[in-house]
Every structure is written in structure tokens, then in C-alpha cells.
Amino acid sequence: MVVYQVYPRSFQDSDGDGIGDLNGVTARLDHIRELGADAIWLSPFYPSPLADGGYDVADYEAVDGLFGTLQDADALIAAAHERGLKVLFDVVPCHTSIEHPWFREHPDWYVWSDRDGPQNNWRATFGGPSWSRDPVSGRWYLHSFYPEQPDLNWRNPEVPRAFGEALRFWLDRGVDGFRIDALDRILKDPQLRDDPAATGPPPLPEAHMEAGLEQRNSRNAPDIGTAVAQLRAAAGDDALLVGEVYLLSGGLKPYLEHLDACFCFELLHAPWEAGAVRAAVAAAAATGQAAWVLSNHDFPRLPDRVGARNVRAAALLLLTLPGMAFVYQGDELGMADGSDGGHDRAGRDRHRHPMAWDTTPNAGFTTGEPWLDVVVPADGPASEQREGSMLDWYRSLIALRRDLEGELELLDAGADVVAFRRGAHVVALNLGAADRPAPATSQLVLATPGATAATLAPGGAFVALG
Ligand code: NOJ
């Protein structure tokens, strides 16, 4: 399955306020269908003060006026289903917005320090201590992310109950499943003990490395599976559940027992060199439930991460691996990062610039003033991308993907080359800076300009019959 990630704020504005909205998404569904995707995942559009781009939810069962209405959400779900697209919403169980009524009405649904100050040495993901003083009660609450995002206490049975209701609210409206945010954070050490000093670099890059702590107690508690099981029980067996779990593949078992898939962050962060990419692919493929992803609204876009020369090869890798593949909006156009607009304190605006649709002002994203500039990709806006363009490349890859069957079998293809077999097909890409011999195949099926049956130029890649 190919899932297309829509970041609603930057996809399509329908009312001229410069901010993308749900009706805009509905109006552009044909773009996603023509790409060949099977499903869409929408980043949050719930009522929110937007302290964390909507991942600070103030009501799990409503639509923020900025993005539209509940009826617009219903219309979007129906229009997606008419086109054969499944719909995944984004749910945020770890924390609410500090403006969620629960924070005042049910303080015992949150995690508090028992003293006048931080309970322990835990550090928040975007910097600073994980504890802040609530000016109303004077007590200190836990927040794994920004201070505006108090953590829910999943050890209080009322929390899974209330959260389960929110899941069922959307399932009853026709949603097919969820991408579950920051899942490794929902259960911490029950005694809230300090994190120990780190003995090496973190397994995956951290936004703020200054603390030098190993996040042993502040997340991924040994009994985390019980909370994941509660989410599955609430959603039912038919819902598609994809976990955002910020751990290496080897640690995903308690999550994967209850979820359909988890994102493979090892590959998203792997330096673009053959050894690291091979290792990440091998580790995640071994779980049998990888959700492959190379970019999203939190991390640099592909040209910025792997270099313009390697973007097509990276897309080819993403879309030929077995399992679910996630394509972040704009990647199919070859979008690069834009400038920092000063909205997100962690500097992630750069990865969230609006889509470039056509040659009208603001590339068709809005008739108003866009909240962030539209970044027009090297191959032009969507309407101008013809044969040989990035959009054409993505469409071809997704179409070809239907023919790829079988398990992944990594091949030894020499320096700088990652190659694997899938049934009758062989996939190969050169991640290095020099021409490399291609693995022997009988017939190329799809190849970048820099690839022939004999040689892979830097950034060259192909799918061939073995
Ligand atoms: C992961 C989301 O993708 C990110 O945007 C957000 O800041 C954190 N989780 C906290 O919700």
C-alpha cells in the first residue's frame, strides 16, 4: 500500500485565507489518485492553538475552523472513498494541548510532580526540562514535547477510555485507520525515575542533544504493550494502525504485536551511503511490518537530505521495498525545503511549505497570502510536469510497484551499490560518487537517466528483470 501524507495547512487553500483546508484537500484528491496512492494520511486539523502545528489538540472530536467543519471532514472521507482511497487520520495520544478542557476538568488524567519543582531530570524533545509549572494550580506537569503539550497519564484507566471514544468517533464517520503520534511516549517508568547518563550517541537523532541522557525511563516503558493493546481494542481489528515509534526496528516488537506497521526511522535518518542504507533496510524488513518513509513534516525533504542527484534513486528504493510506503506531499514533485517562517520553534517550517500546483499566482495554492511561501520545484509545479519529470517518475514507480512480489532478498552488489531481489525483479541503486558496475540482469524495466544494464552512474538506479 502507498500512503500519501497530506499536511493540510500546506496542501490547498479553498477560501483565500492563505492556509490549506479540508475542502482544498477534497478538491485535489484526483492528484493523489492519479499518482496511484492507495490511501491518504492527514496530519492533524483538530481545534488547536497551533503551538506545535496542530499536534497540540484541544478537542479530539472536532475540526478547527481554520481547516473547515465536521461536514467538510465527512465530505472529504466520502470523496476519498469514491476514488478508492482509504483515509487515515492522525491521532495524538501522548499529550493534549494545555487548552484542552481535560487539563482543567480532569487534572488526574495528566502526570504531575509530587514536589514543588521537576520530579526528575527528563528533558523535553525540543529542549528544556520536561516539567513546567502550571500557573493556575502552581503544580508541575510533565510534557515530553513543548510546554503547551501536557502528557496524558495512560496509567489512569480513564485516559484510554476517553481516548478510545475519540477513535470511535472518527471510525463511525468512516475513517479507515490512524497514524498514531509519539506512541513510545505514552507509558513511562511508573516511578518516574531519572534517565541515566548516555553512554553513547542516541540510537536515532534527537532534536536536542544537549542533555546527554539515555531516554530509558522517560518513554517506552517495559509494559508499553498494554497501552498499545488498549488502542487496538478501541479501534477494532479492522482499523489500520500505523505507529510513530521513535525507536530502532529491533525495539518495535511490543508495538507491532498490536499495530499493522511502524515507521522505519532508521532508513529515514540513514546517511545516504550503501552500508547504512542496507543495514536500515535489513533491520526493518526483518520485522515484516515496516512502514517505509523517507521524509515527512518533521525532517528535511529529499533533495536536502540525499542531494538532488540521488532523489530519484531514493524514491525508487522507497517504492520498491515490500510493505507500506509513505510519500510526503510535494516529494512527488521534487520539492526541496524552503525558508524558516518563524512558526515552529524547532525550525520545521522549512519542510512544510505549500504545494506548487500550477502557473497562477502562488502556484495555485491560495488566492490570498500564503502562510509560508510556495516553493516551486526544479521540475516546475504539478501542472507543468510532463514525461520525464519527477511526477512522472513517481507515477511510474507506483504503477510498477503493483508488479513487485515476494520477499526482499538483499544482494551483494559491490561498493556503493544497494541491490535486492523481489521475486522476478532486481532493484539496484548507486549511492556513491563514481560509476559502479550494475548487478547482472536480463532486462531493465524502469531506470533513471544515469543507469544502464551495465553501469550505474552516481544517483543511478533501476528495476530490472533478474
Ligand atoms: C511527532 C509529530 O510528527 C511532530 O510534528 C510533533 O511535534 C511530535 N510528534 C509531538 O506531537
Whether 11 is in a domain gets the answer yes
Whether 307 is in a domain gets the answer yes
Question: Whole-prediction pTM value?
Answer: 0.98
**Rounded to an integer, what distance in angstroms lies between the CA atom of residue 37 and that of residue 31?**
9
Pocket of ligand 1, beta carbon within 6 A:
52-53, 55, 92, 145, 181-182, 244, 297-298
Atom of ligand 1 nearest to the CA of 56: 11
d(CA 145, ligand 1 centre) in Å = 8
Whether 13 is in a domain gets the answer yes
Whether 463 is in a domain gets the answer no
Cα–Cα distances in angstroms (integers) from residue 240 to residues 179, 209, 381, in the given order: 8, 33, 32
Domain of residue 63 covers 2-97+156-407
Nearest CA to ligand 1 atom 6: 55
The pLDDT value recorded for residue 206 is: 86
Nearest CA to ligand 1 atom 5: 298
The pLDDT value recorded for residue 223 is: 98
Q: What is the best residue among 7, 10, 52 to mutate for testing ligand 1's pocket, by most ligand atoms within 8 Å of CB? A: 52
The pLDDT value recorded for residue 209 is: 63
The pLDDT value recorded for residue 236 is: 98
State how many domains the chain has. 1
The pLDDT value recorded for residue 208 is: 73
Whether 421 is in a domain gets the answer no
Nearest CA to ligand 1 atom 11: 55
Whether 150 is in a domain gets the answer no
Give the chain's length: 466
Q: Which of the residues are catalytic? A: 181, 244
**Domain at 333, CATH number:** 3.20.20.80
The pLDDT value recorded for residue 253 is: 98
pLDDT one digit per residue (tens) for the chain, 466 residues: 999 999 999 999 999 999 999 999 999 999 999 999 999 999 999 999 999 999 999 999 999 999 999 999 999 999 999 999 999 999 999 999 999 999 999 999 999 999 999 999 999 999 999 999 999 999 999 999 999 999 999 999 999 999 999 999 999 999 999 999 999 999 999 999 999 999 998 889 888 766 689 999 999 999 999 999 999 999 999 999 999 999 999 999 999 999 999 999 999 999 999 999 999 999 999 999 999 999 999 999 999 999 999 999 999 999 999 999 999 999 999 999 999 999 999 999 999 999 999 999 999 999 999 999 999 999 999 999 999 999 999 999 999 999 999 999 999 999 999 999 999 999 999 999 999 999 999 999 999 999 999 999 999 999 999 9
Atom of ligand 1 nearest to the CA of 144: 10
Whether 104 is in a domain gets the answer no
Nearest CA to ligand 1 atom 3: 298
d(CA 432, ligand 1 centre) in Å = 32
d(CA 404, ligand 1 centre) in Å = 33
Whether 368 is in a domain gets the answer yes
Cell numbers at 351, concatenated: 519542510
Cα Dmax for the chain: 71
